Structure 1
Amino acid sequence: MEEVRLSRRRLLVSAGSGVLGIAVVNTLAGCSSSDEPNDDAGTPSTGSTGSTGGAIPGNWQRVDLSFVSAYVLVRGGEVAVVDLGTAGSADSIEAVLKGAGTGWDAVKHVILTHYHSDHAGGLSEAAPLVSASLYAGAADVPSIKSTKPLKPLSDGDDIFGLQIIGTPGHTAGHVSVFDPSTGVLVAGDALRATSGLEGPDAKYTADMAQAAASVRKLAALDIKTILPGHGAPVTTGAADALTKLAESLK
């Protein structure tokens, strides 16, 4: 696994975005070897790959941290955060929270899709700002150093009305988060949308066979929108694009 170099941090908040940072990893393993944003990230794609960009259903918002994204859900006065972004993301996250009319004190649930530092790198900065339950997939919990306890997640768990989907492969404990009320899937690195909809990058994935099985598992859900860790949200044609991807991996 290559180290993620963050010497040139570019933390850009997109309008109507959202989310948090809360866990420090004991290795700087990540999903990209570049400190520059992927040139394809956010580039609209059409046809069988689905369409990126556009409004996200429900109260989901995106924090665009250049080459990676985190997501926030504001519901009933509480906030759930999925993934944390890189170290130094707190200001960008705070701006999005304020834009949604809320703040750190409302964050009650933080779910890490996996332990890589571009998704769980903001713990030391953000942890003092929140009183939240912190969660990660059971197999990834030992790889995360945290000053607060991490609760292990298993496939089928329910957190804040969100369904936890076990999607191992990219890491052993990778999880995705499905919101059945809106059909929104927060995929972490089980899926990416930097150049159409794809599975995880093989260079940073522990077990590609498992990862392919996880993609097929996600394709069985009633998905309307995909929020990937890398690339823009897929807001139209998401189900068809995911079905075609799953079929290509058989």
Structure 2
Amino acid sequence: MNRVIPLQVSFGSIDNLIFPVILNDDSEMVLIDCGYIGSFELIKKAAMEVKVDLSKLTKIIITHHDHDHIGALGEFKKSYPNVKVISSFNEEKYISGREKSLRLQQAERIFKDIPDDKKEEALKFHEMLQAVKPVEVDICVKDKDTFDCCGGIEIIETPGHMPGHISVYLKESKTLVTGDAMVAESGKLCIANPQYTLDIEEARKSIEKFLQYDIEKIICYHGGICTERIKESIEQIVSK
């Protein structure tokens, strides 16, 4: 039996509500994105509440290297050392720590323009990004790569929010897991916050690729599940 299970995980406040996704079948269990630093136990608890035993985890797909998507990756790898970490080729160097996080580079670049009374808060953000533990990536993927497990998994390259961002299409259930390519706000699909999207026009072009797929459900890491007016909503985002 193949299952797609979005986990609802609250990290401190409603603003930090995230939706990692579990995929499983008789032989594989895959987690898509894994939360902030310190969210390992929260994700584990959320999984237990839906009767998912994370000790059976075999793979973790990382959509991109933002801290809220990879913060707990080091703890997952420590607890489940045999799990295989998957990312795009372009994201691997940041996840492994071989190059400085693009989000940290962005934060450092704009620091001089931040008002003095906000600089202390900004520096704490820098420290949080620097605290993310590097983890080696086991499998690098590119556009259209597939995995023959959990009903069929297809990788979609969706650069824009980050240059190496990927989304995941689940063939059997016709479900799209967007990472941060799109977010849901009150059930409405939107492009991710432009403030944190490194190339907004490229992000829009990436979203246009979703029109090629037969999608009945979308799971956004920020905002959760959308099932209504999917094609129309995507077309509206692309046309703006």
Given the two structures, how large is their TM-score scaled by the length of structure 2?
0.74
Could you tell me which runs of 5 or more consecutive residues in structure 2 were left unpaired when the two chains were aligned: 11-15, 97-133
Letter in 1 for 2:90: A
Q: Evaluate the alpha carbon distance shift between residue 200 and residue 122 of structure 1 in structure 2; reply closer, same or farther with a 3 A threshold.
A: same
- In 2, Cα distance between the equivalents of 1:163 and 1:138? 15
CA positional deviation for 1:90: 1.2
* Residue of structure 2 aligned with 1:229, choices 214, 217, 221: 221
Q: How does 1:46-195 map to 2 (within 5 A)?
A: 58-65=3-10, 66-130=16-80, 131-145=82-96, 146-159=134-147, 160=149, 161-195=152-186
- In 1, Cα distance between the equivalents of 2:142 and 2:158? 10
Bigger CA drift: 82-91 or 123-132?
Answer: 123-132
- In 1, Cα distance between the equivalents of 2:42 and 2:31? 13
Given the two structures, how large is their TM-score scaled by the length of structure 1?
0.71
Bigger CA drift: 136-145 or 63-72?
Answer: 63-72
Q: Percent of pairs identical after alignment?
A: 26
Match in the other structure for 1:203: 195
CA positional deviation for 1:150: 3.5
Letter in 1 for 2:229: G
CA positional deviation for 1:58: 4.4
Query: What SS does structure 2 have at the residue aligned with 1:86?
Result: coil
Q: Evaluate the alpha carbon distance shift between residue 214 and residue 171 of structure 1 in structure 2; reply closer, same or farther with a 3 A threshold.
A: same
CA positional deviation for 1:226: 0.7
- In 2, Cα distance between the equivalents of 1:224 and 1:71? 16
Letter in 2 for 1:61: P
- In 2, Cα distance between the equivalents of 1:59 and 1:193? 18
For residues 102-139 of structure 1, what are the alpha-carbon distances to aligned partners after superposition, in whole Å with 9 as ceiling and x for unaligned?
Answer: 42321111100000001111022221122211011111
Match in the other structure for 2:206: 214
- In 2, Cα distance between the equivalents of 1:120 and 1:90? 11
- In 1, Cα distance between the equivalents of 2:4 and 2:209? 25
Moved over 6 A (4+): none
Bigger CA drift: 125-134 or 178-187?
Answer: 125-134
- Report which structure shows greater RCO (CA 8 Å, sep ≥6): 1
Bigger CA drift: 62-71 or 117-126?
Answer: 62-71
Query: What SS does structure 1 have at the residue aligned with 2:77?
Result: helix
Q: CA RMSD in A?
A: 1.9
- In 1, Cα distance between the equivalents of 2:163 and 2:4? 30
Query: What SS does structure 2 have at the residue aligned with 1:163?
Result: strand
- In 2, Cα distance between the equivalents of 1:174 and 1:197? 18
Q: Give the paired residue count.
A: 192
Could you tell me which runs of 5 or more consecutive residues in structure 1 were left unpaired when the two chains were aligned: 1-56
